[in-house]
Amino acid sequence: MSADSREYHRQYYAAHIDHLRVQKAACQAARRQRLRDAGLPTRSDRDRERGRAAYRADPERVKKAVAEWQRADRRRKFASTANVKAKKLGIPGRLDWRELPELPRPCHYCGTEAQGFDHVIPFVAGGPNTIENLVPCCLPCNERKNRFPSKGPGGSVIEQIS
Ligand SMILES: [Zn+2]
């Protein structure tokens, strides 16, 4: 490839980056579907199987590695816990920790520093496990909300009338 041609491709790529990304994602999704249709493992199937094999070989090492990975960013632990719970309860939705806003940020209910999130409409009340149903929430507010699931922003009904 000549230098001119390389430069042309570089510029073409830069100018069409968004379109090319969409195209690539569609291509990969189609490939995954073809593999599934043929009963063959996709890359994520193989990754999952490798993870399971590592766990079978040395569960403690894998548990430690996962805990460390989750500690490095609280959003990871939050999303993982919420996803496990939602799946168990049959709640729709799945969180991708990379889509959650970075922490800390002000608590939605009291304004103090929040290191976690809260499902505004809780699972028990039929709320989905989606980013639209999340607000930043501090630990005390989260615990208060767990004790009085009916209350919304501004404190529970019980607290307001007493
Ligand atoms: Zn709070």
For residue 162, being part of any structural domain is answered with no
- Per-residue model confidence (pLDDT) at position 117: 94
> How much is the pTM?
0.66
pLDDT in tens, the chain (162 residues): 677 889 999 999 899 998 998 999 999 999 999 999 999 999 989 999 999 999 999 999 999 999 999 999 999 999 999 999 999 999 999 999 999 999 999 999 999 999 999 999 999 888 999 999 999 999 999 998 877 655 444 443 333 333
3-state secondary structure of 39: coil
- Per-residue model confidence (pLDDT) at position 1: 61
- Per-residue model confidence (pLDDT) at position 2: 75
Q: What per-residue string of b and e applies to 33-56 under the rule 16 or more CB within 10 Å gives b?
A: eeeeeeeeeeeeeeeeeeeeeeee
CA of 120 to the centre of ligand 1 (A): 13
For residue 130, being part of any structural domain is answered with yes
CA of 113 to the centre of ligand 1 (A): 7
Treating both helix axes as pointing N-terminal to C-terminal, what angle do 59-71 and 43-57 enclose, rounded to 10 degrees?
120
How many whole angstroms separate alpha carbon 151 and alpha carbon 154? 8
How many whole angstroms separate alpha carbon 131 and alpha carbon 105? 15
Same domain, yes or no: 50 and 80: no
Name residues with Cβ closer than 5 Å to ligand 1, which is an ion. Answer: 107, 109-110, 138, 141
Please state the domain count of the chain: 2
Domain around 113: 74-151
- Per-residue model confidence (pLDDT) at position 158: 34
